[in-house]
Amino acid sequence: MSCFSSADESAHYGFSVCMLLEQYRSQLNWETDGVVELGTGDATAIGEVVNALPALRVRGFDISAPSVETARANIAARGIADRYTVELGDFFDQADSAGGPPVSTVISNPPYIPAPDRDILMPELWGGVHGNDLVLQLLKAGYDNVIAAVASYSDPEATVRTAEDHGYRVANFLAMGLDFGPYSNEPKVRRQIERICAQGRGWAGTDGYMVAVALFTRNPDVPGDRADQLLRSLQIRV
Protein backbone atom coordinates (compact mmCIF):
# COMPACT_ATOMS: atom_id res chain seq x y z
CA MET A 1 0.00 0.00 0.00
CA SER A 2 1.36 3.43 -0.95
CA CYS A 3 0.29 7.03 -0.59
CA PHE A 4 -1.63 8.67 -3.42
CA SER A 5 0.07 11.76 -4.81
CA SER A 6 -0.93 14.17 -7.57
CA ALA A 7 0.84 17.52 -7.58
CA ASP A 8 -1.69 19.36 -9.77
CA GLU A 9 -4.73 18.07 -7.95
CA SER A 10 -3.15 18.65 -4.54
CA ALA A 11 -2.24 22.23 -5.42
CA HIS A 12 -5.73 22.96 -6.76
CA TYR A 13 -7.40 21.41 -3.71
CA GLY A 14 -5.20 23.22 -1.20
CA PHE A 15 -5.49 26.61 -2.93
CA SER A 16 -9.27 26.25 -3.21
CA VAL A 17 -9.75 25.26 0.44
CA CYS A 18 -7.58 28.19 1.51
CA MET A 19 -9.53 30.66 -0.65
CA LEU A 20 -12.92 29.42 0.55
CA LEU A 21 -11.93 29.39 4.22
CA GLU A 22 -10.51 32.90 3.92
CA GLN A 23 -13.45 34.31 1.97
CA TYR A 24 -16.01 32.93 4.44
CA ARG A 25 -13.87 33.24 7.55
CA SER A 26 -16.44 34.99 9.75
CA GLN A 27 -19.44 32.89 8.68
CA LEU A 28 -17.74 29.49 9.03
CA ASN A 29 -16.32 30.36 12.45
CA TRP A 30 -13.31 28.08 11.96
CA GLU A 31 -11.04 30.35 13.99
CA THR A 32 -13.00 29.31 17.08
CA ASP A 33 -14.11 25.78 16.23
CA GLY A 34 -11.45 24.53 13.84
CA VAL A 35 -12.32 22.07 11.06
CA VAL A 36 -12.28 18.31 10.62
CA GLU A 37 -10.89 16.52 7.58
CA LEU A 38 -11.94 13.33 5.82
CA GLY A 39 -8.93 11.73 4.12
CA THR A 40 -5.65 13.45 4.97
CA GLY A 41 -3.42 11.74 2.42
CA ASP A 42 0.15 12.97 2.80
CA ALA A 43 -1.05 16.27 4.39
CA THR A 44 0.86 18.35 1.85
CA ALA A 45 -2.12 20.33 0.55
CA ILE A 46 -3.76 21.18 3.86
CA GLY A 47 -0.39 21.59 5.57
CA GLU A 48 0.16 24.57 3.28
CA VAL A 49 -3.29 25.90 4.18
CA VAL A 50 -2.57 25.62 7.90
CA ASN A 51 0.71 27.48 7.33
CA ALA A 52 -1.12 30.22 5.42
CA LEU A 53 -3.92 30.62 8.00
CA PRO A 54 -2.30 30.88 11.44
CA ALA A 55 -5.64 30.67 13.29
CA LEU A 56 -6.66 27.42 11.60
CA ARG A 57 -6.76 24.10 13.47
CA VAL A 58 -7.43 20.85 11.58
CA ARG A 59 -8.22 17.41 12.95
CA GLY A 60 -7.75 14.89 10.15
CA PHE A 61 -8.61 11.22 9.69
CA ASP A 62 -7.31 8.65 7.23
CA ILE A 63 -7.81 4.88 6.92
CA SER A 64 -4.34 4.29 5.42
CA ALA A 65 -1.57 3.69 7.96
CA PRO A 66 1.22 4.62 5.48
CA SER A 67 -0.61 7.85 4.67
CA VAL A 68 -0.97 8.74 8.34
CA GLU A 69 2.73 8.06 8.95
CA THR A 70 3.73 10.22 5.99
CA ALA A 71 1.25 12.94 6.94
CA ARG A 72 2.54 13.17 10.50
CA ALA A 73 6.11 13.48 9.23
CA ASN A 74 5.15 16.23 6.78
CA ILE A 75 3.19 18.07 9.46
CA ALA A 76 6.10 17.87 11.91
CA ALA A 77 8.52 19.11 9.24
CA ARG A 78 6.33 22.18 8.74
CA GLY A 79 6.23 22.88 12.48
CA ILE A 80 2.41 22.85 12.66
CA ALA A 81 1.76 19.71 14.71
CA ASP A 82 0.14 21.86 17.40
CA ARG A 83 -2.58 22.90 14.93
CA TYR A 84 -2.82 19.93 12.54
CA THR A 85 -3.33 16.42 13.89
CA VAL A 86 -4.05 13.19 12.02
CA GLU A 87 -5.67 10.06 13.38
CA LEU A 88 -5.77 6.58 11.87
CA GLY A 89 -9.33 5.35 11.50
CA ASP A 90 -12.72 5.83 9.93
CA PHE A 91 -13.77 9.47 9.86
CA PHE A 92 -17.44 8.69 10.31
CA ASP A 93 -16.77 6.60 13.41
CA GLN A 94 -14.45 9.04 15.16
CA ALA A 95 -14.85 12.65 14.03
CA ASP A 96 -17.54 13.54 16.56
CA SER A 97 -16.26 11.45 19.46
CA ALA A 98 -13.90 13.89 21.16
CA GLY A 99 -16.47 16.02 22.98
CA GLY A 100 -16.25 19.78 23.28
CA PRO A 101 -17.96 22.30 20.97
CA PRO A 102 -19.36 20.78 17.77
CA VAL A 103 -17.34 21.46 14.62
CA SER A 104 -19.47 22.89 11.84
CA THR A 105 -17.02 22.63 8.91
CA VAL A 106 -15.52 19.55 7.25
CA ILE A 107 -13.03 19.55 4.38
CA SER A 108 -12.28 16.67 2.04
CA ASN A 109 -10.79 15.62 -1.25
CA PRO A 110 -12.66 12.30 -1.09
CA PRO A 111 -11.89 9.23 -3.20
CA TYR A 112 -13.85 9.63 -6.44
CA ILE A 113 -12.58 6.94 -8.82
CA PRO A 114 -15.64 5.11 -10.24
CA ALA A 115 -15.50 1.37 -10.90
CA PRO A 116 -17.87 -1.61 -10.67
CA ASP A 117 -15.98 -2.82 -7.59
CA ARG A 118 -13.01 -2.05 -5.35
CA ASP A 119 -10.56 -4.22 -7.29
CA ILE A 120 -8.57 -1.36 -8.88
CA LEU A 121 -4.93 -0.25 -8.84
CA MET A 122 -5.35 1.72 -5.61
CA PRO A 123 -8.48 0.53 -3.76
CA GLU A 124 -8.30 3.49 -1.36
CA LEU A 125 -9.27 5.76 -4.27
CA TRP A 126 -12.48 3.86 -5.05
CA GLY A 127 -15.51 6.12 -4.70
CA GLY A 128 -18.15 3.51 -5.48
CA VAL A 129 -19.84 2.59 -8.74
CA HIS A 130 -20.41 6.24 -9.70
CA GLY A 131 -17.47 7.67 -7.76
CA ASN A 132 -19.47 9.85 -5.37
CA ASP A 133 -20.23 7.48 -2.47
CA LEU A 134 -17.96 9.25 0.03
CA VAL A 135 -19.08 12.79 -0.76
CA LEU A 136 -22.73 11.70 -0.53
CA GLN A 137 -22.03 10.11 2.85
CA LEU A 138 -20.32 13.31 3.95
CA LEU A 139 -23.32 15.42 2.91
CA LYS A 140 -25.53 13.19 5.07
CA ALA A 141 -23.27 13.41 8.14
CA GLY A 142 -24.81 16.57 9.60
CA TYR A 143 -22.10 19.21 9.17
CA ASP A 144 -23.34 22.70 8.35
CA ASN A 145 -20.48 23.39 5.96
CA VAL A 146 -18.83 20.90 3.62
CA ILE A 147 -15.85 21.90 1.48
CA ALA A 148 -15.26 19.03 -0.92
CA ALA A 149 -13.81 18.18 -4.32
CA VAL A 150 -16.34 17.13 -6.96
CA ALA A 151 -15.17 15.41 -10.16
CA SER A 152 -16.95 15.86 -13.48
CA TYR A 153 -17.06 12.13 -14.22
CA SER A 154 -18.44 11.07 -10.82
CA ASP A 155 -22.15 11.88 -11.20
CA PRO A 156 -21.86 15.48 -9.96
CA GLU A 157 -25.52 16.29 -10.56
CA ALA A 158 -26.58 13.53 -8.14
CA THR A 159 -24.13 15.01 -5.64
CA VAL A 160 -25.57 18.51 -6.01
CA ARG A 161 -29.20 17.33 -5.85
CA THR A 162 -28.49 15.20 -2.79
CA ALA A 163 -26.91 18.24 -1.17
CA GLU A 164 -30.05 20.26 -1.95
CA ASP A 165 -32.24 17.51 -0.48
CA HIS A 166 -30.27 17.88 2.77
CA GLY A 167 -30.63 21.65 2.88
CA TYR A 168 -27.32 22.69 1.32
CA ARG A 169 -26.58 25.44 -1.17
CA VAL A 170 -23.40 25.76 -3.26
CA ALA A 171 -22.08 29.04 -1.93
CA ASN A 172 -19.00 29.11 -4.14
CA PHE A 173 -16.44 26.92 -5.89
CA LEU A 174 -13.18 26.86 -7.83
CA ALA A 175 -12.89 24.58 -10.88
CA MET A 176 -9.87 23.32 -12.79
CA GLY A 177 -9.15 20.90 -15.64
CA LEU A 178 -6.95 17.88 -14.83
CA ASP A 179 -5.28 15.29 -17.02
CA PHE A 180 -6.10 11.62 -16.59
CA GLY A 181 -3.55 10.03 -14.29
CA PRO A 182 -2.58 6.36 -13.90
CA TYR A 183 -5.54 5.57 -11.64
CA SER A 184 -8.27 7.22 -13.71
CA ASN A 185 -6.60 5.84 -16.87
CA GLU A 186 -6.78 2.23 -15.67
CA PRO A 187 -8.82 0.41 -18.39
CA LYS A 188 -11.42 -0.85 -15.94
CA VAL A 189 -11.91 2.67 -14.57
CA ARG A 190 -11.95 4.34 -17.99
CA ARG A 191 -14.65 1.95 -19.17
CA GLN A 192 -16.76 2.88 -16.14
CA ILE A 193 -16.16 6.58 -16.74
CA GLU A 194 -17.29 6.12 -20.34
CA ARG A 195 -20.46 4.37 -19.16
CA ILE A 196 -21.25 7.15 -16.68
CA CYS A 197 -20.73 9.83 -19.32
CA ALA A 198 -22.80 7.92 -21.89
CA GLN A 199 -25.65 7.86 -19.35
CA GLY A 200 -25.45 11.65 -19.07
CA ARG A 201 -24.24 11.38 -15.46
CA GLY A 202 -20.78 12.83 -16.01
CA TRP A 203 -18.29 14.40 -18.38
CA ALA A 204 -14.76 13.57 -19.46
CA GLY A 205 -12.71 14.61 -22.45
CA THR A 206 -10.24 12.53 -24.40
CA ASP A 207 -7.36 13.32 -22.08
CA GLY A 208 -8.87 14.74 -18.92
CA TYR A 209 -11.76 15.92 -16.80
CA MET A 210 -12.79 18.74 -14.46
CA VAL A 211 -12.60 18.95 -10.69
CA ALA A 212 -14.26 21.66 -8.61
CA VAL A 213 -13.74 22.33 -4.92
CA ALA A 214 -17.07 23.60 -3.63
CA LEU A 215 -18.48 25.00 -0.42
CA PHE A 216 -21.81 23.35 0.36
CA THR A 217 -23.49 25.19 3.22
CA ARG A 218 -26.64 25.22 5.32
CA ASN A 219 -25.53 28.40 7.07
CA PRO A 220 -28.05 31.22 6.44
CA ASP A 221 -25.27 33.78 6.97
CA VAL A 222 -23.47 32.53 3.84
CA PRO A 223 -25.10 34.12 0.77
CA GLY A 224 -25.71 32.73 -2.69
CA ASP A 225 -26.49 29.51 -4.50
CA ARG A 226 -24.24 28.62 -7.42
CA ALA A 227 -25.32 25.00 -7.91
CA ASP A 228 -26.14 25.36 -11.59
CA GLN A 229 -22.93 27.29 -12.26
CA LEU A 230 -20.98 24.51 -10.55
CA LEU A 231 -22.56 21.87 -12.79
CA ARG A 232 -21.96 23.93 -15.91
CA SER A 233 -18.30 24.36 -14.94
CA LEU A 234 -18.12 20.54 -14.81
CA GLN A 235 -19.61 20.41 -18.34
CA ILE A 236 -22.95 19.07 -17.07
CA ARG A 237 -26.03 20.44 -18.84
CA VAL A 238 -28.72 21.78 -16.51
Residue 120 Cα distances to 35, 155, 182, angstroms: 31, 19, 11
**Residue 97: predicted pLDDT:** 54
Q: Which residues contact 124 (CB under 8 A, 6 or more apart)?
A: 1, 4, 63, 64, 67, 111
pLDDT digits (tens, 9 = 90+) for 208-235: 999 999 999 999 999 999 999 999 999 9
Q: What are phi and psi of 126, to 5 degrees?
A: -70, 125
170 CB-contact burial (10 Å; exposed 0-12 / middle 13-18 / buried 19+):
buried
Tell me, letter by letter, the H, E, C secondary structure of 137-187. HHHCCCCCEEEEEEECCCCHHHHHHHHHHCCCEEEEEEEEEEECCCCCCCH
Sign of the dihedral through C-alpha 222, 225, 226, 231:
positive
Q: Considering only residues 64 and 99, tell me which one the structure prediction assigns the higher pLDDT.
A: 64
Q: Which residues face 192 on adjacent strands? A: none
Confidence bin at 238 (pLDDT 50/70/90): confident
**Would you mind telling me the total number of residues written for the chain in this entry?**
238
With a cut of 90, say whether residue 237 has pLDDT above it.
Answer: no
Q: What is the pTM of this model?
A: 0.94
Mean pLDDT computed over every residue of the chain: 93
pLDDT digits (tens, 9 = 90+) for 116-166: 999 999 998 999 999 999 999 999 999 999 999 999 999 999 999 999 999
Domains belonging to the chain, first-starting first, are 7-233 (3.40.50.150)
By the 8 A CB rule, do 67 and 42 touch?
yes
